[in-house]
Amino acid sequence: MGEIIFILGGARSGKSSFAESLAKESSDNVAYVATYVPCTTDDEMKERINHHQKSRPNFWKTYEEGYNIAPLLKNIDSEVIVIDCMTIYTSNLLLADKTEEEIKANIAQIIFSLKDVEYKAIIVANEVGLGVVPESPLGRKFRDIAGRVNQAIAKEADSVYFIATGIPLKIK
């Protein structure tokens, strides 16, 4: 059974950097699962992706999967994987008109898959419950589902870190 490490924090808190440092400390045989579905019109997001790509060693294997991670996980031949980020992944599913039950089932399949492999999995997500209540119904629905997804992953994770201002705090 593989180890699951879950890393949460706010936007620009240092989550991805911490995840990447844990991966680098663990092995040179790392796979990176990017969950963002590219949008050709969002130049600012393209720059964020470019920044993330440059921060990773070029010998890491990169997989881009925005909707169905679980089947991919059983076919990755690495000692460590980084999944960045579950919040974007949840957003992808919600915007693809998946119900909360379908999203939770998808996440349960990911967790089940990770418990059936030998590698270390480092999962990154945004902590969405510390901000203001979103103004729109879709925003509130997203926040609620993302919070439940985070709870499900944290429950099954071997360790959980909260990142604030670049400083990791181990909470499990």
Of the pLDDT bands very low, low, confident and very high (cuts 50, 70, 90), residue 3 is very high
pLDDT given at position 40: 58
**Domain chopping of the chain, boundaries:** 4-170
Q: What is the pTM of this model?
A: 0.91
Of 42-51, 71-80, 81-90, 123-132, the poorest mean pLDDT is in: 42-51
pLDDT given at position 38: 66
d(CA 1, CA 53) in angstroms, rounded, equals 29
pLDDT given at position 47: 76
Query: What is the DSSP pairing of strand 159-164 with strand 167-170?
Result: antiparallel
pLDDT in tens, 91-144: 999 999 999 999 999 999 999 999 989 999 999 999 998 888 889 999 999 999
pLDDT in tens, 52-73: 666 777 888 999 899 999 999 9
d(CA 5, CA 89) in angstroms, rounded, equals 17
* 52 is a catalytic site residue: yes
pLDDT given at position 131: 82
Burial class (CB in 10 A: 0-12, 13-18, 19+), 59: exposed
pLDDT at 12 over 90: no
Of the pLDDT bands very low, low, confident and very high (cuts 50, 70, 90), residue 41 is low
Burial class (CB in 10 A: 0-12, 13-18, 19+), 17: middle
What superfamily does domain 4-170 belong to in CATH? Answer: P-loop containing nucleotide triphosphate hydrolases (3.40.50.300)
What mean pLDDT comes out for the span 139-168?
96
% of the chain beyond a pLDDT of 90: 73
Residue with tokens 């604030």, as numbered in its chain = 164
Query: What is the DSSP pairing of strand 80-84 with strand 120-126?
Result: parallel
Catalytic site residue from 2, 3, 14, 52:
52
Structure-block tokens of residue 42: 């969002």
Of the pLDDT bands very low, low, confident and very high (cuts 50, 70, 90), residue 167 is very high
